[in-house]
Amino acid sequence: MFQYRLLPLFVAVFLASKVAHATPETYTIGSKVSRVTFSLEHQGFIQNFGTLKIAPGSFVFDSDDWSKSSVVVMMPIKSLDMGDALWNEEIRGDDAWDKLFKSKAITFHSKQIQRIDAMHGTLTGDLTLAGVTKSVTLQLKLNKLGANAVSKLPSVGFTATGTIQRSQFGLDAYEDLVGDNMPIQIQLEAFVGEDPDAALEKQLGS
């Protein structure tokens, strides 16, 4: 009789544990706001900054077990912006950067995501730049997990940072003038559900 009285309690605890445990969730990338920023030393005088747009897409994130998460990010080369229209035109017309502009996109495919603490981890994956693929490891920060104040959709935001050497990807033009090390920062905001801006951005060709 005692065992039968405890049975409903065991069932309730089991169900509660199942509800409380998070499962991998698919998030849609908010391509309108997500960006990749990089910098290059210009003759030792300053750091020049550029940006790349992150194409529409999705990724999987498990807030309980980051190792079950995965992400593929694509950055269209046509979205490369050095912050000045004249400079953008000059680099696109320079044969020295031909390797870069022959490819349609820069891609990153995650291979391993490790959690360090509640908000930090490492993101390791294959980066394909100018047709060359190399393994890179980025420092990952979970900025926020919760409802978006405007859309009310479940949302998540990440920042990933690291440094790559452009020469390792065959981009060794003007090494006497432009630095080899490229600090990069990925700002990725995503949400559960469809992206209402994706179709419009495709129509606009952005």
What is the pLDDT at residue 21? 54
What is the pLDDT at residue 167? 97
User: What's the length of the chain?
Assistant: 206
Residues 6+ apart with CB under 8 A from 129: 100, 103, 106, 164, 166, 169, 171
pLDDT band per the 50, 70, 90 thresholds, residue 197: confident
Owning domain of residue 57: 22-204
Query: What is the number of structural domains in the chain?
Result: 1
Does residue 85 belong to any structural domain of this protein?
Answer: yes
- Given its phi and psi angles, is residue 131 left (phi above 0), alpha (psi -120 to 50 degrees) or beta? left
Alpha carbons 137 and 164: distance in angstroms, whole number: 9
Does residue 11 belong to any structural domain of this protein?
Answer: no
What is the pLDDT at residue 179? 96
Residue 199 or 164, more confident: 164
Does residue 7 belong to any structural domain of this protein?
Answer: no
In this structure, the number of other CB atoms found within 10 A of the CB of residue 96 comes to: 11
Does residue 170 belong to any structural domain of this protein?
Answer: yes
Does residue 4 belong to any structural domain of this protein?
Answer: no
Maximum distance among all alpha carbons in the chain? 84
Cα dist from 82 to 4, 33, 71, 73, 74, whole Å: 70, 17, 26, 20, 18
**Contact, 140 vs 121, CB < 8 A?**
yes
Residue 4 or 107, more confident: 107
Classify the C-alpha dihedral 204-77-135-42 as positive or negative: negative
Per DSSP, what are the bridge partners of residue 137?
124
What is the pLDDT at residue 196? 74
What is the pLDDT at residue 89? 96
Tell me the average pLDDT across 179-200: 90
pLDDT band per the 50, 70, 90 thresholds, residue 205: low
pLDDT digits (tens, 9 = 90+) for 72-97: 999 999 999 999 999 999 999 999 99
The pTM assigned to this predicted structure is 0.84
> What is the bridge-based pairing of β-strands 181-191 and 35-42?
antiparallel
Alpha carbons 60 and 110: distance in angstroms, whole number: 11
Tell me the average pLDDT across 96-104: 95
What is the pLDDT at residue 199? 67
> In a 10 Å sphere around its CB, with 0-12 CB exposed, 13-18 middle and 19+ buried, how is residue 125 labelled?
buried
- What CATH code is carried by the domain that includes residue 149? 2.40.128.110
Per DSSP, what are the bridge partners of residue 22?
none
What is the pLDDT at residue 153? 95
The answer on pLDDT for 195 being more than 90 is no
pLDDT digits (tens, 9 = 90+) for 5-54: 444 444 344 434 444 456 899 999 999 999 999 999 999 999 999 999 99
Does residue 17 belong to any structural domain of this protein?
Answer: no
- Could you tell me which of 80, 84, 87 has the C-alpha nearest to residue 55? 80
Instruction: Give me the percent of the chain exceeding a pLDDT of 90.
Output: 83
